[in-house]
Every structure is written in structure tokens, then in C-alpha cells.
Amino acid sequence: MLKLILAACLLLLSTAGWGQSATPTSTQEPAQDTQSITTLKVAARVVEISAVVKTKNGEHQGGLTKDDFILKQDGKLQPIRYFSQGSDLPLTLALMVDTSGSQRTFINDEALASDVFFETMMGRKQDRAMLVQFDTTVQQLQGMTNSSSILHLALTRLSSHASAANGTLLNDAVYSVAKETLAKETGRKAMVLLTDGGDNGSSRSLAEAIEQVQRADVQVYSILYSAQNEAAKFGVSTATPDPGMKILQSLSEATGGRVFTVSPTLSLREIYAQIGQDLRLQYALGYTPPTDTQPNSYHKLELKAKNNKLTVQARKGFFAAP
């Protein structure tokens, strides 16, 4: 009798019903995991480049295709595999405001102009922005949101928690926001720095900050707002270059952004309008680096238009994926 019972159990285990209910569970899940991992590896190999193209008159040039560009990695031509209008992609924006002692007198103007900027840029559901202030500390006043109303409230808190001590953690602010927030985002990513360019007390160097924004594929738009330039409104001028300009130029030029200076002839609102145009009228290009590209290695990028009457604004290099 016992033999008959065992035989019946074995027969049940070998039926189609048991085989079909157990087998897909054990084989299907690993297949999904493998496919997911493969997709991530392929995506990580693509180098994305956001580009702004302008005529000699400074006007944005639209209507171009990938065949209108020449792309080089370390001096060698690379085929452009991916191309689209950048404005079709989501935009992630980080506004970084210097609230150190040298900047306190500009806070009201910065808050009003930034409010208009957020309202202009948050016109689509897929676009988001965050607000960060930095002095002796780096404080996130508002995380990523699509709500211009929420960002408006965050702007009212600018400098309310500012430190009374002297210090400007510019490099640390750029480094931390790029690594901890923007590196995790997809689509177009930009950082707007509103500062006099001074750094005092950062644990990270300028080179480390630049490396981090390049790894995160972030364009840095720098706005120099300083007491030296503010004095020019009242006819006080100096032949000495603003010391913060060189730092901001390094950050922006390496990442495909631009540097602006608030002056008697160019207001903060006008600068924001120009940045907005750049971010709305971009091209998005992508290519797969050569197979011998080493992980974590740095490589120079050169993107030009075949029409030498056009200028291309794009990042100058990238770090290969780990």
C-alpha cells in the first residue's frame, strides 16, 4: 500500500500542472534580472552631451541634425548614435545661492529675480528644480519639485538660517549637490550658481568640484554678483578683475555652461532669461565610447558644427563609468 502511495505522489509531481507552476518561477526571474542588468550597463556606456549652437550674432541656431556636427573623443572622430532636441527631455535644475556675508545685500534682488525664473522654467510637469543656499554650511531649502509656489516659499527663507561666521563653501556645495542629488537624475541637468565666486573653508578643491559635475553630466551656469560690480552702478569702477571670475569660468567652461556678470547694463532678470533660452533651445547628443576606454578615466571631448560660422557650447570632457 505504501508503494502505491509513493508512486501516486511521484506521478503528481511529474504532471504538467506542477511543472508549469514551478518552472517559470525559478527560470523567469533570473532572466528578468539579467536583462535589467544588461540594459543598465548599455545605458551607462552612452556619453550624453547637451549642446547650445549659436550664430555669429549670438542667436540660437535651430533645425540642425546629427550630420551637422563633428564629435571627437581625445582627438579621434566618434559617430553620433543618439540625437534629439534637448527641449524634449526633462530638465532638472539646481539653483545654488551664496548667502555668505559678502552677498547679504543682494538677497532681496536675488529672491525676486529667482522667483520669476522658477515660474518661467517650471512650465512642464516633467521639469523640476531645487533650491540650495551655502555659506559656512550647505543647506537644502527645497528639494526637487515641479511647483513654482513651493519654490517661491523656499525663496522667502533665503539667508534666514545663514551663519554669522565668515565662510563660503562654494566647492563643497557644488560637489555635494552634484554627487548626492543630480547624479541620480536622468535627462538634462543644470546648476545655476549665484555667487561672487569666492571660496573660504571648503574641504573639496575646485578640481574635485569640477570632476563631480562632469561625472554627473551637469551644465554649470555661473552668475557673478559681487560688491565690486554693484559699485559700478554708482560710477565706482576698478581696473582689477573680480577674483571670483576665474573660478566661475573654470566651472562653467568645463561643463558646457556660461558665465554672466550682473552689471549696470545687464540685470539678474535679464541673465536668467538668457539661461532659460539656453536650456530650452538645446540639442542632446550621445555616443558610445570606444571599447578600450578605461573605467573611471577622464577623456577630452570636442564638439563642433561643420558650419564654421556657428559656435557650439558643450562640455569639454567626461569621466568614463566605473
Averaged pLDDT for residues 131-149: 96
Considering the domain boundaries, does residue 39 fall inside one? no
User: Do 276 and 224 share a structural domain?
Assistant: yes
Instruction: Supply the pLDDT for residue 177.
Output: 98
User: Do 172 and 212 share a structural domain?
Assistant: yes
Instruction: Supply the pLDDT for residue 102.
Output: 84
Instruction: Supply the pLDDT for residue 238.
Output: 53
User: Do 117 and 61 share a structural domain?
Assistant: no
User: Do 65 and 179 share a structural domain?
Assistant: no
Instruction: Supply the pLDDT for residue 14.
Output: 42
Q: Are 64 and 55 in contact (CB under 8 A)?
A: no
User: Do 254 and 314 share a structural domain?
Assistant: no
Task: For the chain, give the percent of residues with pLDDT over 70.
Answer: 80
CATH of the domain at 100: 3.40.50.410
Considering the domain boundaries, does residue 305 fall inside one? yes
User: Do 243 and 128 share a structural domain?
Assistant: yes
User: Do 96 and 65 share a structural domain?
Assistant: no
Cα(110)–Cα(129) distance, rounded to whole angstroms? 16
Q: Are 209 and 171 in contact (CB under 8 A)?
A: yes
User: What are 44's three cell numbers?
Assistant: 551607462
User: Do 148 and 57 share a structural domain?
Assistant: no
Averaged pLDDT for residues 260-287: 95
Question: Apex CA 310: angle with CA 264 and CA 92, to 5°?
Answer: 65
Averaged pLDDT for residues 59-76: 96
Averaged pLDDT for residues 283-308: 95
Domain count, the chain: 2
Element (H, E) at 143: strand 138-145
User: Do 309 and 222 share a structural domain?
Assistant: no
Q: Could you read off the pLDDT of 191-241 as tens digits, one per residue?
A: 999 999 999 999 999 999 999 999 999 999 999 998 766 544 545 455 566
User: Do 252 and 110 share a structural domain?
Assistant: yes
The phi, psi pair for 114, rounded to 5°, reads: -65, -35
> Can you give the residue range of the structural domain that contains 76?
51-81+298-319
User: Do 95 and 75 share a structural domain?
Assistant: no
